[in-house]
Structure 1
Amino acid sequence: MFAGQFVFCQLLEYLPRRAFQDCVRRYHGDQRLRGFSCRDQFLTLAFAQLTYRESLRDIETCLRALGPKLYHAGFRGRVSRNTLADANRVHDWRIYADFAQILIRQARQLYADEPFGATLNQTAYALDSTTIDLCLSLFPWAEFRRRKAAITLHTLLDLHGHIPCFVHISAGKLHDVKILDTLPIEPGAYYVMDRGYLDLARLYRFTTAGAFFVIRSKRNRDYRRTQQRAVDKATGLRSDLSIRFNSPRSVARYPDRLRRIAFHDTEHDRRLVFLTNPFLLPAWTVAQMYRSRWQVELFFKWIKQNLRIKAFYGTTENAVKTQIWIVISVYVLIAIVRKQTKTERSMSDILQILSLTLFEKMPLFQAFSDENSRNRETPGHNQPSLFDL
């Protein structure tokens, strides 16, 4: 019989504790509610995410049922719904945002060599957003429409490993394109975006910063062709042009030439037109990169189905942002554990296993072992193994 640590404790060993305390000190997190520290809050909300708790009362009931196991799992404060509600209100959400970035950097190093569908060695990102509906009477600070509240999660996903490396939480009124003003631009990296982000002046920032973009074009763009390249139409490509805009306003916003690639998507029987600024990249690779953009949509789908991100344990802006950043931390933690333990289990499988074994005493690798893999169903062909549901 294994007499070591709980599975929950083994999971927490992948979290850099000293780095977490540095984040706490940076924002003076433990100066309030000294009987319930920021670490207690993080452990409590991580437990809630891993075990699908529905409410503060649900969290309190389940944790108190564990009795003395809580102390051995690292909890030091007394868990109650009122104390947790106060912590969600007063502990600065930036503590958990900064800590999530530390985990993100660790995960990106582990997944740096993961393929993503396009033959590309450089860093590639997909940018998109998702809206989470809220009740206006409970969340008045997140007013979206006249009778509706919402928040928007703007996410930049590293396509090598599907790790969210930039997350911005805003009220639902913020237009997607405005997030480009705060987006950190990495020279030499590729950014894949849908046409909702098409703003020529903002896209020109990528060119001047030495970065590359692939974006779906809108119709009725006034341009002139300066060069035409041959394409293999059997691959779905229809044209590959170098262009310049004719409109004085467009020229003022983007004075350089652009590349315009037309592609026929046979799966959905539609014509797609891409604008991009790398001229040496094969046109087929550009089309494949845009196709990889759906990974960020899978990421949104996955966290909404597997983690508590559509319902919140508090109604203040601080509580909502705290919960979202802990959701991101839990997601990245599972990705790190999946890589470090070298398991072939999907992220969804790992979460299901952890929900039942957190306070069992067994080696972590044994919990993820797949002795009956021959009897398992084959995962769907249209989703990568990281997101298998």
Structure 2
Amino acid sequence: MSHHNTVIAQMLKLIPRHEFESLANQHHTGRSFRKDSRWSQFVTMMIAQLSGRNSLRDIVDNMTAQIHRLYHLGSTKLSRSTLFRINEDKPYELYEALFGRLLSRCQGVAPGHNFRFKNPLYSLDATTIDLCLSAFPWAEFRAAKGAIKLHVRLNHEGYLPEFATITDGKVHDVTVGKTLAFPSGSIVAVDKAYNDYAWYNQSTNKGIFFVTRLKSNAACRVIERQHVIKSKGITSDQIIEFTGAVTAKKCPIQLRRIGYRDKSTGKQYFFLTNHMKMAAKTIADLY
């Protein structure tokens, strides 16, 4: 009977085995493997992630059901105890280095974003991942809830996640956001969780543009009103400055507030940006 490659096998072709093994050797600690390997761990965890497995038993049972296909993936079946030991004891730096290799390769072939402007475009976001507090007591989030937070920076040239880190669930989104560097002239789209007036001012001084949602209770005054095309959903386009005692001190610069009404839902949104020349509809589309 002829052999046909599985989809998983085709995906693994994106990761040259010799490169993986070289990184695995560089980031190995403890005793050497006899028959198991980091490649088998990687294949096992990759399949578990893509198939939505939620426990070691579930992962191992699924791999057992596919055991006749593992040979063609260069993998072997791992027992629960072995998979637990490798996940627990072996350093994560292997996968951090692998991420860097894959990112570098993808950056060389990534297409540009779909907007007319040439500025690099990034999005920042974070998501909270719930954990069982009894199983992960170090991840205390609330009184009876555990959680971690995954922070990601997405480059819209090829939609590449150029940065990812995991923190305690209590760490605020903007705390990580302020540690990231962006090239001058880039545009960063963020939600209201990244609201920080001092950061807005610092980004502007560095030549970095941002697009975000304006908080409803932000105290400000209108300096100038600009013409809008209401047929495109734009309800207002204003130059503003903050008037709050603390806010005005942290962000003493003029910014732009754009009102937009979503035709499909009828909801009204107000966007805040330091880009004074870009079309208002483009600013709304960025968000």
* TM-score where L is the length of structure 2: 0.86
Map of 2:239 onto structure 1: 242
Work out the CA distance in 2 between the residues paired with 1:189 and 1:22.
35
**DSSP 3-state at the match of 2:117:** coil
Work out the CA distance in 1 between the residues paired with 2:52 and 2:116.
38
Change (3 A) 1:23 1:183: farther
Map of 2:148 onto structure 1: 151
Cα displacement (A) at 1:62:
4.1
User: Among the aligned pairs, what percent are the same residue?
Assistant: 36
Work out the CA distance in 1 between the residues paired with 2:248 and 2:172.
24
Cα displacement (A) at 1:139:
0.8
**DSSP 3-state at the match of 2:272:** strand
Q: How does 1:162-241 map to 2 (within 5 A)?
A: 162-241=159-238
Q: Deviations over 1:92-144 (max 9, x none)?
A: 223213322332343344442352xx443332222222222111110111100
Correspondence for 1:274 among 258, 271, 276 = 271
Work out the CA distance in 2 between the residues paired with 1:262 and 1:48.
44
Map of 1:37 onto structure 2: 37
Q: Deviations over 1:261-314 (max 9, x none)?
A: 122223222221111111121111101111xxxxxxxxxxxxxxxxxxxxxxxx
Structure with greater proportional strand content: 2
Which sections of structure 1, spanning at least 5 residues, go unmatched?
291-389
Change (3 A) 1:3 1:205: same
Q: Does 1:80 align with 2:79?
A: yes
Work out whether residues 123 and 188 of structure 2, in 8 Å CA contact, stay in contact via their aligned partners in 1: yes
* TM-score where L is the length of structure 1: 0.65
Q: How does 1:96-111 map to 2 (within 5 A)?
A: 96-111=95-110
Work out whether residues 259 and 268 of structure 2, in 8 Å CA contact, stay in contact via their aligned partners in 1: yes
Cα displacement (A) at 1:206:
2.1
Work out whether residues 188 and 210 of structure 2, in 8 Å CA contact, stay in contact via their aligned partners in 1: yes
Map of 2:92 onto structure 1: 93
Amino acid paired to 1:59: I
Cα displacement (A) at 1:188:
2.1
Q: How does 1:244-323 map to 2 (within 5 A)?
A: 244-290=241-287
Cα displacement (A) at 1:187:
2.4
Work out the CA distance in 2 between the residues paired with 1:78 and 1:33.
18
Work out whether residues 263 and 273 of structure 1, in 8 Å CA contact, stay in contact via their aligned partners in 2: yes
**DSSP 3-state at the match of 1:266:** coil
**DSSP 3-state at the match of 2:93:** helix
**DSSP 3-state at the match of 1:29:** coil
Work out whether residues 257 and 270 of structure 2, in 8 Å CA contact, stay in contact via their aligned partners in 1: yes
Work out whether residues 111 and 161 of structure 1, in 8 Å CA contact, stay in contact via their aligned partners in 2: yes
**DSSP 3-state at the match of 1:281:** coil
Work out the CA distance in 2 between the residues paired with 1:222 and 1:8.
54
**DSSP 3-state at the match of 1:122:** coil
RMSD over equivalenced CA pairs, Å: 2.7
- Relative contact order: is structure 1 or structure 2 higher (C-alpha 8 Å, sep ≥ 6)? 1
**DSSP 3-state at the match of 1:286:** helix
Work out whether residues 24 and 30 of structure 1, in 8 Å CA contact, stay in contact via their aligned partners in 2: no
**DSSP 3-state at the match of 2:129:** strand
**DSSP 3-state at the match of 2:218:** coil
> How many residues get paired?
286
Map of 1:24 onto structure 2: 24
Change (3 A) 1:145 1:3: closer
Change (3 A) 1:234 1:11: closer
Work out the CA distance in 1 between the residues paired with 2:68 and 2:281.
59
Map of 1:58 onto structure 2: 58
Work out whether residues 56 and 84 of structure 2, in 8 Å CA contact, stay in contact via their aligned partners in 1: yes
**DSSP 3-state at the match of 2:87:** helix
Cα displacement (A) at 1:184:
3.1
Question: Which range moved further: 49-58 or 229-238?
Answer: 49-58
Cα displacement (A) at 1:208:
2.8
Work out whether residues 124 and 177 of structure 2, in 8 Å CA contact, stay in contact via their aligned partners in 1: no
Work out the CA distance in 2 between the residues paired with 1:259 and 1:109.
35
Work out the CA distance in 2 between the residues paired with 1:143 and 1:131.
12
Structure with greater proportional helix content: 1
Amino acid paired to 1:97: E
Change (3 A) 1:216 1:5: closer
